[in-house]
Structure 1
Amino acid sequence: MTEAYARTGSITTTGGRRSRPVPVRVPGTYRVQHDSLLLAEQVRRLAPGRRVLDVCTGSGFLALTAARVGASAVTAVDIARPAVASTRINSLLLRAAVDVRRGDLFAPVGQQRFDLVVCNPPYVPAPTDELPTRGLARAWDGATSGRAVLDRVCDDVAGVLAPGGTVALVHSSVIGEEKTLERLASRGVQAEVVCRRLIPFGPVMTNRADWLRSRGLLGPEEQEETLVVVVGRRA
């Protein structure tokens, strides 16, 4: 999940449409950002009438979006206790039927299968491969590659998708959209980039810009990143 641009109240997307953030954010969880709003556009399109799983749920925004557009069932998973608390509180406040579970990615759902899996994972490259276990950095640090969590999602998502099920992911093009497509394809999920959006760097990307340039991940004058939404279907 990329860094903060939003504040409390309504959030306006680049396309000018407004999306209401979840009303409560427990300390230790992250605000709804451009990446979640971008992925929510696909959730509104794909979730009605389907069994939905939202992994790395954070405040529960995507899970609640799925519930509010008529998903037949919604499960939300996060490893962070504040995220689980936030999602549970928000689902109660919005009277949304969301089954909230704490655990590591797909482990909490066991043998269940879903028609739609959505995920906004931590994907900002970090100077260390050791993922944080607490604090806000847990929401965005993706190890030196930025792909530590994303690659695990790509590797294992087919196992929780029902036949013909769909996965929808969002991340920065800085970490390589082709890698995501290839990794999903190798697991039997044919995917494509369905949306791109250019946004200015927020605080985390700004602070790491010089380091990212030294690794060849950013150009000398780059001050923006492109968010990509990848949607794939299990054969």
Structure 2
Amino acid sequence: MRLLRPRGVYAPQEDTELLARAAREELRALREQSGVEVLDVGTGTGALALVAARSGAARVTAVDISWRAVLAARYNAWRLGLPVVVHHGDLTEPVEGRRFDLILSNPPYVLSPAPARRREERTWSAGADGRQILDRICARAPGLLRDSGVLLLVQSALSGVDATLDSLRDGGLSARVELRTTIPFGPVMARHAEWLEERGLIAPDERKEDLVVIRAQRV
């Protein structure tokens, strides 16, 4: 689906599609349940929230810290005639006190040797370990899930899959890798390749990374 994407708003890519695939499967399993509520954290263009709305969720809420993203997601939902409510705010702050059946997030997770300076960089840059946003989501998500609720989160394997799994388990969730795919480095990762080699995170001349979708459930 074609979406409005202003400059400085993350463009849906392979990670978006991988998470969308997992979200469709999760919502298919919930189709007999009435009143399914979905939260999309860091919605960007609203791509994942729109997938949820198209896949039968009764109520879809999206959040982004960027006003450009909020306005783009609202416009995209309106243009497609899909009932998505988009809030402006930091991660889950606008929905504190609510509970959801499914939480989706494609957060910034790219390892970067320098702090993000430009608006575009903030959509993907997540510090030297790639966990600036991942750790915050892992800490907040358990308190926002209903009984049997599920978090689906996509990240690079370079950003510490075990760290994400351990954090979610510490929060009382069962967690596992649900989907995995290997993709070539994009322009940003290619620019960081030498730095990643120096840190021992990739082999010399390695120019591919694994993307993973982690599924965590309150049990």
Question: TM-score under structure 1 normalisation?
Answer: 0.88
Does 2:26 align with 1:46?
A: yes
For the residue of structure 1 that corresponds to 2:195, the secondary structure is: helix
Instruction: Return the offset for 1:131.
Output: 5.0
For the residue of structure 2 that corresponds to 1:148, the secondary structure is: coil
Does 2:58 align with 1:72?
A: yes
**Contiguous gaps of at least 5 residues in structure 2:** none
Does 2:13 align with 1:33?
A: yes
Q: 1:118 maps to what in 2?
A: 104
Q: 1:8 maps to what in 2?
A: none
Is the CA contact (8 Å cut-off) linking 2:7 and 2:120 kept in structure 1? no
Which letter maps to 1:183? S
Does 2:173 align with 1:189?
A: yes
Match of 1:161 among 117, 131, 145: 145
- Map Cα deviations across residues 57-87 of structure 1 (whole Å, 9 max, x no partner): 1110000000011101000000011110110
Q: 1:202 maps to what in 2?
A: 186
Which letter maps to 2:125? D
Structure 1 CA distance, aligned partners of 2:7 and 2:132?
24
Once superposed, which parts of structure 1, at least 4 consecutive aligned residues long, lie more than 3 Å away? Answer: none
- Map Cα deviations across residues 119-176 of structure 1 (whole Å, 9 max, x no partner): 0000001113x455x5111110011110110011001101111111000000110112
- Map Cα deviations across residues 72-118 of structure 1 (whole Å, 9 max, x no partner): 10000000111101100000000010010010111010211000000
Question: TM-score under structure 2 normalisation?
Answer: 0.94
For the residue of structure 2 that corresponds to 1:44, the secondary structure is: helix
- Map Cα deviations across residues 162-214 of structure 1 (whole Å, 9 max, x no partner): 11100000011011211111110000111100111000000000000001111
Give % identity: 45
Structure 2 CA distance, aligned partners of 1:92 and 1:75?
14
**Contiguous gaps of at least 5 residues in structure 1:** 1-19
For this pair of structures, how many residues does the alignment match? 213
Is the CA contact (8 Å cut-off) linking 2:152 and 2:214 kept in structure 1? yes
Is the CA contact (8 Å cut-off) linking 1:26 and 1:85 kept in structure 2? no
Does 2:122 align with 1:142?
A: no
Instruction: Return the offset for 1:26.
Output: 2.0
Instruction: Return the offset for 1:43.
Output: 1.1
